[in-house]
Each structure stands twice: as C-alpha cells, then as structure tokens.
Amino acid sequence: MSGDGVVTINVGDVQEPPAYPVDFAFTVNENSRTWTPVGRSQAVSQDEDAGDEQEYLKLAEEVWTADGKWVATEKILGNDVFMIHALSAQVSVKRNLLDYESFKTFRMTIQAKDSNDFTCSAYVHISVNNVDEPPQFIAIPPA
C-alpha cells in the first residue's frame, strides 16, 4: 500500500535564556574619573528571542590582592569602583579609586535578566593601565 498525504508540522517558539558567549576583558586608565566608560564595548549578552529586552546587574566586584586572592573591593577600598548601566550594559567607573601602583586587576560578576526572568552571568575582568603622573612636591618641615 502506498498513498500521498499532507503533513503539517507547527513549530512553536520556546523562550530561551540570555547567554554570554565569553567572559569580558577590559582596560581602564588609573585615576579615571567617575562615569569614564571602561572598555570599547558593552558587556551585552545575546538572546535569541526577538524583541526580548534585558536588564543588567552587577552581582559582585573583587580586586586581586598582592597575596594572590580575589577579595571584595569594598573590604579593601571601602567602596566599589565600577558600575554597569542597567539597560546598555556599559561598564563605567563609579568612584575614582583606581591606582595602578596599589591594585592592577579587578573582576566583576554581572548578570543579564530577560523579560521572562531568565538569567545568565559572566565575569568582567578589568586591568588598570599605568599612567605617567606629574611629580609632586612634598612639604618638608623646617629644620
């Protein structure tokens, strides 16, 4: 027996979570002012769902210490140093606490959340560039 027929297959859209293809690595000059953009691009995630909007959040920030450990930036410097824009994912300097001679590497854990509350996270590694600084006179008390 044989026959001809029509088979219809309907493919429905399934909501996928956002995804970061890789971790990010950016550089920033020491002594950078507040709002200075870090890196040349944003830490944007990818989401296959058409028109799906994402919100970005910093989960943690750490600094690499001289004894070879990641430690919360707030514990070492008293405050965090970087921020991420919730809509554009642009990483920027939050506080001018960048001193190459003290700390050369920071790491942020960021999260992307889409409109379906699906999330993904990634690291943003930030290296501080050394910048020539003008000499400074030191006041010496009179003898």
- pLDDT band (50, 70, 90) for residue 16: confident
Percentage of residues of the chain with pLDDT beyond 90: 57
C-alpha 103/C-alpha 38 separation (Å) is: 16
C-alpha 124/C-alpha 92 separation (Å) is: 12
Residue 40 token pair: 């040349």
C-alpha 26/C-alpha 11 separation (Å) is: 40
C-alpha 43/C-alpha 51 separation (Å) is: 18
Phi-psi region of 58 (alpha: psi -120 to 50; beta: other; left: phi over 0): beta
Dihedral, CA of residue 89, residue 94, residue 100 and residue 104, to nearest 10: -40
pTM: 0.80
3-state SS, residue 117: coil
pLDDT higher than threshold 90 for residue 22: no
3-state SS, residue 73: helix
pLDDT value at position 70?
96
Place of tokens 């044989």: 2
Q: What are the residue ranges of helices labelled H in 11-120?
A: 73-77
- pLDDT band (50, 70, 90) for residue 51: confident
